[in-house]
Structure 1
Amino acid sequence: MRDLTTLPDLKLALVQSELFWQDPAANLERFEQLLAPVEGADLVILPEMFSTGFSMESAKLAEPEDGPSTQWMIKQAARMGAVVTGSLIIQAADGSYRNRLIWARPDGSMAYYDKRHLFRMAGEHKHFAAGEQQALFNLKGWNIRPLICYDLRFPVWSRDAKQTDLLLYTANWPAARRNHWNRLLPARAIENLCFVVAVNRVGEDGKGHAYSGDSKVIDFQGDVTLDCKDVTGVQCFTLKGVDLAEYRQRFPADCDADTFTLG
């Protein structure tokens, strides 16, 4: 059993912004400006497909695994001394197109998670290959499980009652279904006895879909402790590991969780 009382504070920077439609250079420039004043963060979180918007033109927009947007993330991570994460349209080594969350570390190393649940209502499953494995990243002793947008609707894929300290969602979640976003996020926090951090975009995309933002930090009881509403910019928040440890000791519902394996 891990000793959560030793978890240090984790400093987050949530980056909520409009996105230029299918224009990586313009988006990277915008995010570089937004990140310029950020200091002291451990983890910087960008939206889903932050360099292009939620586009299904995978063949046109895909970058290689070590492409310019990934290299930009590595550069920003090194400059800030923080992990930088967000998803991109990537052409994997096997030739498939992936909605891939990149986990860029300050030392230049990387990890990734490929989106499992592809949003069929937009035809995402026709243009991208689904991820096959969950991921669990470690940062300062925190176990962080990354997920992408539509993954939020599938609690089994999010479920991990023993290891996850922070569920991290990066998204392009439309305003038309903002009530679902705002209701499902607290549910994931409550059922997993962990923090949830979710970063969405604002503005309107090239297909005319509006996005309301609603990026937020939610604690293990489902209480919203930071709500970015529809404001463009960077919001910083510090997670207290000791708070998570104390709650799990008082309310160890994970001891009664069902065991299962994913097919």
Structure 2
Amino acid sequence: MRTNLKISGLNFDITWKDKERNFHNIEQQFQDRSADLLMLPEMFSTGFYMNAAEIADRNEETLKWMKSFAARRNSAVCGSASVFDDGSFLNRFYFVKPDGSYQFYDKRHLFTYSGEDQSYSKGKERVIVEYKGWRILLQVCYDLRFPVFSRNNDDYDAVIYVANWPETRIDAWTTLLKARAIENQSYVFGLNRIGTDGNNLNYPESSYCFFADGSIISETENHFVSAEFNSDELKKYRGRFQFLDDRDSFEIF
């Protein structure tokens, strides 16, 4: 495992339903910034829009852009997009490496309050990616409210959440991110969008990275939130407080 992993997330004000504009804006924002992993919010190319048929990628538009961007920046890039695949609409979280290889996680818990379950199909698999020796669990927004699904079975080192989580429920977002870090003794990086979307929902700057003890380790500057994972610190903390050894055994699927 590489000892340090630098991550930079963009607190992005997404332009409503305009993929090309969002791709351009992201490239401009990241022009002078580098990291091992560049993070983008949930549905960063369109905003969290429930008419999937209108916005969904049908020719891997977002994935193709992410591959190009990752190669040009020599960094991994992650974020979710609305896609149409094999007859279903999905909220798909891509993790793209600089060499063009990628994995994806389809959002498991759909936000019924907004009707996401009426437009999108739920994912069926829990996905952990390996990058530079780090094992990273991929999660999207509403997944945060379901701790069983993200329970650490000693199979990951960090969790990353990408979201469109509005101001009206922002306390829950912050509290649950911290709880996931503590209960799973893992780094937890939650990246939320900012600004106002096409539904007139407001999103304050609320992106954070927590260490395994619940302390905030991220720094925010110019709409970027950055953090650095350190494997030695994580190993030392887990070795001192071996709470995961006492976890309950169960199977999700």
What percent of counterpart residues are identical?
A: 38
Shift of 1:213: 2.6
Specify which of 187, 190, 210 is matched with residue 182 of structure 2: 190
User: Aligned letter for 2:97?
Assistant: R
Task: Give the SS at the match of 1:63.
Answer: coil
Counterpart in 2 of 1:22? 17
Shift of 1:210: 0.5
- Give the 5 Å matches for 1:199-210: 199-210=191-202
User: Aligned letter for 2:190?
Assistant: A
> In the aligned structure 2, how far is the partner of 1:100 from the partner of 1:210?
23
1:158-209 Cα shifts (integer Å, max 9, x gaps): 1123111001000000000010011101100000000000100111100111
Instruction: Name stretches of at least 5 consecutive residues in structure 2 with no aligned partner.
Output: none
User: Aligned letter for 1:132?
Assistant: K
User: Aligned letter for 2:74?
Assistant: G
Counterpart in 2 of 1:77? 70
- Give the 5 Å matches for 1:145-184: 145-184=137-176
> In the aligned structure 2, how far is the partner of 1:213 from the partner of 1:116?
25
Task: Give the SS at the match of 2:103.
Answer: strand
Counterpart in 2 of 1:135? 127
1:247 matched to 2:241: no
1:33 matched to 2:23: no
Aligned pairs, number: 253
Given that 1:77 and 1:105 are in contact with CA atoms closer than 8 Å, whether structure 2 keeps it comes out as yes
1:88 matched to 2:85: no
Deviates more, 1:233-242 or 1:181-190: 233-242
Counterpart in 2 of 1:43? 37
User: Aligned letter for 2:244?
Assistant: D
Shift of 1:226: 1.6
User: Aligned letter for 1:205?
Assistant: D
Counterpart in 2 of 1:237? 227
> In the aligned structure 2, how far is the partner of 1:79 from the partner of 1:218?
29
Given that 2:208 and 2:225 are in contact with CA atoms closer than 8 Å, whether structure 1 keeps it comes out as no
Given that 1:103 and 1:112 are in contact with CA atoms closer than 8 Å, whether structure 2 keeps it comes out as yes
> In the aligned structure 1, how far is the partner of 2:215 from the partner of 2:127?
25
> In the aligned structure 1, how far is the partner of 2:228 from the partner of 2:238?
19
Task: Give the SS at the match of 1:145.
Answer: strand
1:107 matched to 2:99: yes
> In the aligned structure 2, how far is the partner of 1:69 from the partner of 1:196?
25
Task: Give the SS at the match of 1:162.
Answer: coil
> In the aligned structure 2, how far is the partner of 1:25 from the partner of 1:80?
18
Given that 2:15 and 2:21 are in contact with CA atoms closer than 8 Å, whether structure 1 keeps it comes out as yes
> In the aligned structure 2, how far is the partner of 1:243 from the partner of 1:126?
43
Shift of 1:105: 1.0
> In the aligned structure 1, how far is the partner of 2:51 from the partner of 2:33?
32
TM-score, normalisation: structure 2: 0.97
Task: Give the SS at the match of 2:47.
Answer: coil
Task: Give the SS at the match of 1:90.
Answer: strand
> In the aligned structure 1, how far is the partner of 2:105 from the partner of 2:130?
13
> In the aligned structure 2, how far is the partner of 1:189 from the partner of 1:236?
17
User: Aligned letter for 2:62?
Assistant: S
Specify which of 46, 53, 56 is matched with residue 47 of structure 2: 53
1:67-119 Cα shifts (integer Å, max 9, x gaps): 22211110111111111000000111x11000000111111111100000000
1:256 matched to 2:246: yes
Structure 1's 232 and 175: CA in aligned 2 closer, same or farther, altered over 3 A?
A: farther
Given that 2:51 and 2:119 are in contact with CA atoms closer than 8 Å, whether structure 1 keeps it comes out as yes
Given that 1:34 and 1:234 are in contact with CA atoms closer than 8 Å, whether structure 2 keeps it comes out as no
RMSD: 1.2
User: Aligned letter for 1:34?
Assistant: Q
Instruction: Name stretches of at least 5 consecutive residues in structure 1 with no aligned partner.
Output: 1-5
